[in-house]
Amino acid sequence: MPRGITPRQPAKTGRHEGIRKAAAAKKPGALRTPRTGEGAPPNKVRATAPAPARGKAYHPTAPGRVQEILKQLDTFYAAVTCALHHKSAWELLVATILSAQSTDVRVNMVTPELFRKYPTVQDFAALEPEQLQPDVRSTGFFRNKSKSVVGAARMIMRDFGGKVPDQMDQLLTIPGVARKTANVVLGTWFKKNEGVVVDTHVHRISRRLELTRNDDPKRIEQDLMQVIPREKWTLFSHQIIWHGRKLCIARSPKCADCPLENICHAADKTWSTVEIHKNAK
């Protein structure tokens, strides 16, 4: 060490400790506070979830936590249903096929005129896909969708007597129908809980709520079917979809207004009264 230079000593005032505390507060898992301009609405009291007992492991899919999630969803989204407008199983099937990579709002703008122009399954079956393309162009991927809708109509006429089947295995043989579409038709129209609809909202929010760690829709569905009571499968899907549109928005969730905030540990929360889990996203 050069002569005349002494090592830097800690401040006697203890101010250097403030640096350590500030650094600790930034570590992953530290309680997040709202950024400037964020916060709970005025005069709104946020309930804070009780801390788990010492030595007690946190289980995101514990029955008590799942029941609390369902309870809050029932309170805020008691009577929600499918947002796609329809008057029959066939109309719901067509609307669901058209909703892929599109919005329900856009599909609901297209289908009234579509079903006025082609009122029955037979009318669709008599078309060539190219004839249908101009009518569904605005929903995107209109060539593939036109082919699927016409193909579905022809199979339903040929194999199912002109009626949309109410069995999962039969629905999955129809062009353009995968499990998501089949679950929508079975649950919404036929009132059969054969699975859980996993759309973009259910995919995102079920991961945020730590009800699944998977990223594949089929595996997410299987995980949700393990923890959500069967009689709730269809309603749960509708509730989560509505929740995703109103509050749990992808880019900027409205956490300060969310009824699930005090049991949600998502890493991308904009407001939190509970610990943040970095893998909940």
* Active site residue ranges: 180, 199
How far, in Å, CA of 238 to CA of 198, rounded?
Answer: 10
Residues contacting 57, CB < 8 A, separation 6+: none
CA nearest 137: which of 164, 113, 172?
113
Cα-based angle 216, 206, 144 (whole degrees, multiple of 5): 45
Region of residue 62 (left: phi > 0; alpha: psi -120 to 50; beta: else): beta
Residues contacting 230, CB < 8 A, separation 6+: 193
Please, what's the largest Cα pairwise distance for the chain?
99
